[in-house]
């Protein structure tokens, strides 16, 4: 009921027949209350004529109770021809402007890709001032993917009279940038190496070695020596090259963690009823339709509804924000409840962080100390023990490489 409503009182023994006809006539109404041969109903302003005509056909007596402020305002406006003509002209101009591109936003930090996207859009006839309904988004997206270097996907969305171009860079693009920097495979666990599979790099520690966090297991600095004898003396020629170490280092290691849950803690609780705050959107501006801002802490959920006229989207819309206030209250648990929550934290950790490892053994110690339920867990695991860490080459080596 964007344009307001009118409320009626009906007196007739044909109320049931009227209700059936309302749905067939597609009349917008709400708050229908029937009591015997009397009924009360709220009808949207745009359906008032059809409703009154239907009541006349069914010979149902109706009495207008009241009109909403919006309905009275619209009636006042259109009773003044000059004002109504100006309003219609403004709406027509608004419709025309709302369907013209006012701004193009490319959601990417790469300047080269941004420039390429804009060049392709212009070649497709899309620029500020273009008529939005005439733009074939599917064809334009396909052109972007085919003709802009460095992207694997492109999507176009419209919000008001702004076009948002979202692009995804090719997976290899970032890697190519980093290929100029060598890398080591560095231990991220304390344990024993059981298996080494490498595609690039030089192994520093063999299978069976014990390692600590930070140890370089496979180096990106590849040292090659060549020995030769000249005049009875051995001369060793050393050559150093750099690469990105790649591979898999598998072994066994242990992790020790502590999961705790206080017996007394703060929790979030509802602090009142949900309220709906509405904003009138005009192009990219939001005008609040309320006088008092929500206070305190609250959760918010937004939704937006565009206003259309004759199939064209107006530069107007209503943004609704459902605001639910909350506060923090103190909650006290029993020891059993606290221990159960600690176990849930432990189970969540195992699900999220240990799924990629083989769990060989688990030792748990449960206790209460300092007003907390405490679980000390020791995991024995088998799996990947290293991660790739980039480093910079010495300047002299870089100059030789150049």
CB-CB neighbours of 318 under 10 Å: 15
3-class SS at 190?
coil
Provide the CA 184 distance to its chain's centre, in angstroms.
34
**Residue 133 per-residue DSSP state:** G
Q: Which residues of 69-107 are buried (b: 16+ CB within 10 A; e: fewer)?
A: eebeebeeeeeeeeeeeeeeeeeeebbeebbebbebebe
Mean pLDDT by 10 residues, the chain (402 residues): 75 79 77 81 82 82 74 65 71 74 85 89 87 86 86 83 83 43 91 93 93 94 82 79 90 95 88 88 78 83 79 77 89 93 94 92 93 94 93 60 40
Q: Does the predicted model carry a pTM greater than 0.85?
A: no
Domain with CATH 3.30.70.340 in the chain: 5-68
Residue 82: both structure tokens together: 């000059």
Residue 163 φ/ψ, nearest 5 degrees: -100, 130
Residue spans in the chain of domains classed CATH 3.10.20.310: 103-174
Name the 3-class secondary structure at 401: helix
Strands lying side by side in the sheet with 61-67: 29-35, 38-44, 5-11, 61-67
**Answer CATH for 5-68 from 3.40.50.300, 3.30.470.20, 3.20.20.120, 3.30.70.340:** 3.30.70.340
| Dist CA 41 CA 66 (whole Å) | 11
Give the pLDDT confidence of 242-286 residue by residue, as tens digits: 888 999 999 999 999 999 999 998 888 888 888 898 888 877 677
Query: What number of helices (H) and strands (E) belong to the chain?
Result: 9, 23
* CATH code assigned to 103-174: 3.10.20.310
Token pair in block for residue 273: 């009823």
375 to 263, 338, 362: CA distances (angstroms)? 14, 11, 12
If you write DSSP's letter for every residue of 14-58 in order, what string do you get? Answer: -HHHHHHHHHHTT--EEEEEEETTEEEEEEEGGGHHHHHHHHHHT
Q: What is the 3-state secondary structure (H, E, C) of 267-331?
A: EEEECCCCEEEEEEEECCEEEECCCCCCCCEEEEEEEEEEEEECCEEEEEEEEEEEEEEEEEEEE
């Amino acid at each position: 009921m964007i344009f307001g409503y009118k409320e009626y009182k009906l007196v007739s023994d044909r109320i049931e027949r009227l209700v059936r006809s309302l749905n067939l006539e597609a009349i917008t109404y709400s708050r229908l209350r029937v009591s015997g041969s009397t009924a009360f109903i709220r009808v949207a302003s745009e359906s008032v004529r059809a409703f009154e005509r239907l009541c006349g056909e069914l010979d149902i007596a109706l009495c207008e109770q009241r009109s909403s402020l919006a309905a009275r305002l619209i009636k006042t406006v259109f009773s003044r021809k000059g004002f109504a003509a100006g309003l219609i002209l403004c709406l027509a101009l608004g419709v025309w402007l709302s369907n013209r591109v006012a701004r193009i936003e490319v959601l990417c930090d790469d300047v080269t890709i941004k420039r390429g996207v804009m060049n392709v859009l212009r070649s497709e006839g899309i620029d500020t001032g273009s008529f939005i309904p005439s733009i074939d988004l599917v064809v334009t997206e396909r052109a972007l993917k085919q003709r802009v270097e460095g992207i694997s996907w492109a999507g176009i969305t419209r919000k008001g009279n702004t076009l948002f171009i979202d692009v995804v860079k090719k997976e290899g693009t970032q890697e190519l940038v980093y290929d100029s920097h060598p890398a080591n495979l560095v231990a991220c666990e304390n344990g024993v190496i059981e298996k080494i599979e490498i595609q690039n790099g030089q192994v520093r520690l063999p299978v069976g070695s014990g390692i600590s966090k930070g140890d370089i297991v496979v180096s990106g600095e590849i040292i090659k020596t060549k020995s030769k004898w000249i005049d009875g003396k051995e001369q060793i020629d050393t050559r150093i090259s750099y690469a990105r170490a790649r591979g898999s280092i598998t072994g066994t290691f242990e992790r020790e963690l502590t999961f705790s849950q206080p017996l007394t803690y703060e929790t979030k609780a509802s602090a009142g009823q949900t309220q709906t705050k509405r904003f009138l959107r005009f192009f990219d501006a939001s005008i609040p339709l309320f006088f008092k801002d929500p206070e305190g802490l609250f959760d918010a959920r937004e939704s937006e509804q565009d206003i259309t006229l004759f199939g064209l989207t107006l530069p107007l819309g209503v943004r609704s924000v459902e605001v639910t206030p909350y506060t923090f209250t103190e909650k006290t648990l029993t020891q059993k409840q606290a221990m159960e929550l600690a176990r849930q934290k432990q189970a969540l950790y195992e699900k999220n962080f240990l799924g990629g490892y083989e769990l060989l053994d688990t030792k748990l110690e449960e206790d209460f100390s300092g007003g907390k339920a405490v679980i000390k867990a020791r995991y024995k695991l088998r799996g990947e023990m290293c991660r790739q860490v980039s480093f910079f080459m010495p300047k002299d080596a870089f100059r030789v490489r150049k």
